[in-house]
Amino acid sequence: MPRISRFYFAMAIIYLLIGIGVGLHMSIAHDHSAVGAHAHINLLGWVTSALFGGYYALNPVKAGGWLPWAQCGLYSIGLVVMLPALYLMLTGTPGVEPAVAMGSMAVAAGVVLFAAVVFTRGRGIRASRMMPQPAE
Ligand code: HEM
Ligand code: HEM
């Protein structure tokens, strides 16, 4: 599996643990005010990151060069700014909205770069070259 896929899955599972933690906390406290943060931690943090990681694992040719890491960097920094700020905003901390906005923009930019990865030729290792060669 390419290094970028391992990074994405490591990040994704951490967000799933946090997202489920927030979901359990909401359920136990009977206070669903953080539902927007719970939904986006799980869907942007776990599901979308795992989809990105899965895409690079299935298309190792797309995992080489600077573009995938620029995509991954923007998306990851966006999430780490957006998601905690969204949780704080929804649970009543004032003044964090600009962080939610800036994080969201970085996430959106990371998604635009992912579209570029999908629609351009890759510079990594072709999957066929990674296959074990048949014995002579
Ligand atoms: C043990 C795990 C989980 C618990 C305890 C939990 C709990 C909750 C709770 C209490 C709500 C609020 C419901 C409401 O106010 O209407 C909610 C909403 C939501 N959850 Fe979870 N959740 C869990 C896992 C997940 C996972 C893994 C995902 C996604 C992969 C997810 C996606 C969502 C979404 C999208 C909503 C918003 C639904 C809507 O807009 O009505 N949840 N969850
Ligand atoms: C930067 C990207 C995104 C932004 C800025 C964004 C923004 C928003 C906003 C403003 C809402 C309405 C919240 C409310 O009414 O309280 C919302 C709800 C929702 N979004 Fe997103 N969204 C993004 C990405 C996504 C993605 C990628 C998914 C799914 C994979 C998603 C799934 C949902 C769901 C399920 C809800 C309803 C959850 C709830 O009840 O709060 N969003 N989003």
Closest ligand, as measured to the CA of 74: 2
Count how many Cα atoms sit within 13 Å of the Cα of residue 110 in the half-sphere of its side chain.
Answer: 24
* Residue 135, pLDDT score: 58
Residue 36 Cβ inside 6 Å of ligand 1? The answer reads: no
How many whole angstroms from 2 Cα to the centroid of ligand 2?
Answer: 29
* Residue 128, pLDDT score: 55
Q: Give 107 or 136, the one with higher predicted confidence.
A: 107
CA distances from 135 to 47, 127, 129, 132 (A): 39, 18, 15, 9
Cα–Cα dist 40/19, whole Å: 8
Report yes or no on whether pTM surpasses 0.85.
Answer: yes
Residue 20 Cβ inside 6 Å of ligand 1? The answer reads: yes
* Position 106 pLDDT exceeds 60: yes
pLDDT tens, 21-79? 999 999 999 999 999 999 999 999 999 999 999 999 999 999 999 999 999 999 999 99
Token representation of residue 54: 């899965």
Residue 29 Cβ inside 6 Å of ligand 1? The answer reads: no
